A = this chain, B = another copy of it.
Amino acid sequence: MSIVKIVEEPIDVAGLTESLMHDEYGGIDTFIGTIRQFTDEVETEKIEYTTYKKMAEKEMHKLADIVLAKGMDVVMVHRVGELALGEVAVFIGVAAPHRAEAFENCQMLIDTLKKTVPIWKKEYDKDKIRWGGLGE
């Protein structure tokens, strides 16, 4: 049931949410990350995500397995390629018997994904191009 992958096509938020609905779980927490227009003063026009796909999916599975081992269901999908404003870059979802653990594990998954999964963003901002994650 668990879905963990990198995709190039648009993320089907409704279908992935649906996949987390099971009679045995009462609480589902989902996180949806979209392309934001403004970061403080900086205006973004689009973002290009690239990945080291095999390793990225391996790292995502490591994270998902931690949550699956606790008896929850998990969805982790990240899109790569060129994304326009408002498009969904990442969908994380956790279904659990109780809501506190759904929130806790969903947040852990997105926080850790951002630190360990080899995906990179090239941000086309109005003033210049920025590479995500790089100190200047």
Contact = CB atoms under 8 A, between A and B. Distances in A.
A44 to B, nearest CB: 9
Given A14-B13, A14-B14, A32 B28 contact: yes
Interface of A is mostly: mixed
A18 B88 CA distance: 11
Interface string A15-47: 001101111111111111111111000000000
A103 interface: yes
A32 B30 contact: yes
B34 A26 contact: yes
A106 B107 CA distance: 12
A86 interface: yes
A97 interface: yes
Interface of A: 13-14, 17-18, 20-38, 85-86, 88, 97, 99, 102-103, 106-107, 110
